[in-house]
Amino acid sequence: MVQVKVNEGLLEGERVTSDLVGTFYSFKGIPYAAPPIGDLRFKAPQPVKPWSGVLSAKQHGPQCPQYNIISKQLENGSEDCLYLNVYTPNLEPNKPLPVMIWIHGGYFCSGNGNDDVFGPEFLIRHDVILVTLNYRLEVLGFLCLENEDIPGNAGIKDQVAAMKWVKNNISSFGGDPNNITIFVSEKVLPNVETFFTGDITDALKNNVHEGVELIVGFNEDDGAITFALIHDIENTISWANNSEGYFVPTTLGQKYSKDELKEIGSEMKKMYTRGEIVSKNNLSPVANYYGADFYKYEILQFAKQFSVKNKVYFYIFSCFSERNVFAKLFGISSYFTKNVVSHNDDIAYLFPISNINQKIPKTSVSYNLIYRMTSLWTNFAKTGNPTPDTKLGCNWRTFNAKTKSYLNIGNELTRGVAPLREEMEFWEKMYEKSDKLFTTKSS
C-alpha cells in the first residue's frame, strides 16, 4: 500500500516497476479543483473540498470532451475533468526533488495528460518529479462572453489552479515546492512555446517576469502540420500558385487595402517559392511559410523580448530517428520527400508514448538521443542551466537580441548564431515595411 497525505485528505497510489527506471510511485486522477459543473461551468476553478477516508489514485481522471485532431474522431469525456497525475522516483528523498509540470498541447481543442502518451519513465530516471494534468478545452475552456457568467479563459485558469495545487502539496510526494518548472508543447502559455522556471504564478500573472529562466524554440518543420488541418489540398495548391494574398501573414491580413496586401503577399511568395510551382510534389514552400507565420517568427520575437530581463536558451529541434512519428500520425508524411521533423516530434524524446508500441533497446541510437534530450530538460529543471557541466559535450549559450546564440538539437548537438537568419531578417523587413504602409495610411 502506497499512501500520501495532501491538504485535502489521503491518497493511495501504486508502486510501479519499469525496465527503464526500476521502481517509481504513481498517483493518478488527483482532483486539483472542484468539478466545474452546474453553477461552476465556465467559471474560474474553485478549491477541492476535503474528502474523508482514502481516495484511490490508481486511474486517470476523465479528460475533457473533445475532437481528436489526430484520429479525427469525437472522444468521450466529462465536464468533471480537473485532475492531475504525479509520478515520483522517491517519496522520501534525502533532498526534495525538482518538479516538472507538463501542460499538454492540442490547440486548446484536444489532448490530455494521460500516460499512454505522457508517461514518466524518460524524465523521472533523472531524479525529478513529473506532474501532468487535464484542463478544460474548446467551448468549456475558452468560450468568452466577457460577463460574470462566462468571463473566459477557464482553461488557462485551470492550469494556474493546478500549479498552485502542486506548489501547496508536492512536498508530500518528495518534491521541492520552491523548484517547479513548467513545460509545454506549443502556444499554450503565455502564448508561445515555452519552458521556464521561477515563481510560476507571478510569471503567468505578469506575462514576462524578470528573473525567470526560459528554454524556447521550434521544430525544423513545424509548419508541415498545416496539411493535417487542410481538407482540400488541390484548392490550397491553386491558391498558393494564383493568389498573392495567400502568402499574407495572418497578423497583417486586416490592416491594409487589397493592393497593399497584394504587394506584401507577392514578396512573401517570391521568398518561399523562389519561382517554383507549388504542387503535390512540392509543398515545402507552403509548409515553410506557415512554419514561419504560425510559429518561428513569433517565437523568435518573443525570445528577443523575454531575453531583455531574463536568461533565454533558444533551440531548433532537428533530430530524426524512428521516434519521429507525428508526421505519420498526422497523415502528412507522404506529402514530403524529406524526413519531416514535425510539430510535436520533440515530445517523443521526452515521453515514451506507449501507444505507438515502440521498443527502445539501451544499445540503440534512439536511446542515446532520448537520454541526451531528457538530460538537457532535467538539467534545466534542476539548475536553470541545460548544460551545467561538460557531460553532454556542448555548452548551450544564452540567447539575446545581440548574440542570437542557439542550439541545434539534431542527431548531434551543434551551436549556432542567428537562427534562420535570411528568413527571419526577411520577415522583420516585411513587418517594418507594413508598419510604414500603415503609418502612411493612418496619417
Q: Looking at the structure, do residues 308 and 364 belong to the same domain, yes or no?
A: yes
Q: Looking at the structure, do residues 128 and 72 belong to the same domain, yes or no?
A: yes
CA geometry: angle 258, 260, 264, nearest 5 deg: 115
> How confident is the model at residue 194, as a pLDDT?
41
The one-letter code for the residue type at 57 is A
Give a yes or no: residue 220 inside a domain: no
Angstrom distance (rounded) from CA 154 to CA 253: 29
Asked whether the bond before 35 is cis by omega within 30 degrees of 0, the reply is: no
Q: Looking at the structure, do residues 104 and 243 belong to the same domain, yes or no?
A: no
The ranges of the chain with pLDDT < 50 are 188-201, 204-205, 208, 438-443
3-state secondary structure of 214: strand
Range list of H helices, 89-212? 121-124, 138-142, 154-169, 200-206
Compute how many other C-beta atoms are within 10 angstroms of the C-beta atom of residue 357.
Answer: 6
Using CA atoms of 74, 75, 77, 82 in order, give the dihedral in degrees to the nearest 10.
Answer: -100
3-state secondary structure of 207: coil
Range of the domain at 106: 2-189
Using CA atoms of 227, 231, 235, 237 in order, give the dihedral in degrees to the nearest 10.
Answer: 10
Give a yes or no: residue 32 inside a domain: yes
Q: Looking at the structure, do residues 56 and 154 belong to the same domain, yes or no?
A: yes
Q: Looking at the structure, do residues 123 and 235 belong to the same domain, yes or no?
A: no
Q: Looking at the structure, do residues 241 and 129 belong to the same domain, yes or no?
A: no
Give a yes or no: residue 113 inside a domain: yes
3-state secondary structure of 219: strand
Could you tell me which of 119, 193, 154 has the C-alpha nearest to residue 360?
A: 119
End-of-domain residue from the set 189, 214, 242: 189
Q: Looking at the structure, do residues 383 and 305 belong to the same domain, yes or no?
A: yes
Instruction: Give me the CATH number covering residue 12.
Output: 3.40.50.1820
Give a yes or no: residue 438 inside a domain: no
Give a yes or no: residue 319 inside a domain: yes
Cell of 428: 522583420
Q: Looking at the structure, do residues 263 and 338 belong to the same domain, yes or no?
A: yes
Angstrom distance (rounded) from CA 152 to CA 164: 20
Give a yes or no: residue 80 inside a domain: yes
Q: Looking at the structure, do residues 135 and 249 belong to the same domain, yes or no?
A: no
Give a yes or no: residue 215 inside a domain: no
Q: Looking at the structure, do residues 269 and 362 belong to the same domain, yes or no?
A: yes
Compute how many other C-beta atoms are within 10 angstroms of the C-beta atom of residue 237.
Answer: 17
Q: Looking at the structure, do residues 9 and 96 belong to the same domain, yes or no?
A: yes
Cell of 347: 515530445
β-strand pairing of 312-317 with 9-18:
unpaired
Angstrom distance (rounded) from CA 318 to CA 336: 16
CA geometry: angle 359, 364, 365, nearest 5 deg: 120
Number of domains in the chain: 2
Q: DSSP character for 350?
A: T
CA quadruple 139, 146, 199, 3: dihedral positive or negative? Answer: negative
On whether the CB atoms of residues 268 and 186 are closer than 8 A, the answer is: no
On whether the CB atoms of residues 17 and 23 are closer than 8 A, the answer is: yes
Give a yes or no: residue 28 inside a domain: yes
Q: Looking at the structure, do residues 135 and 262 belong to the same domain, yes or no?
A: no
> How confident is the model at residue 255, as a pLDDT?
63
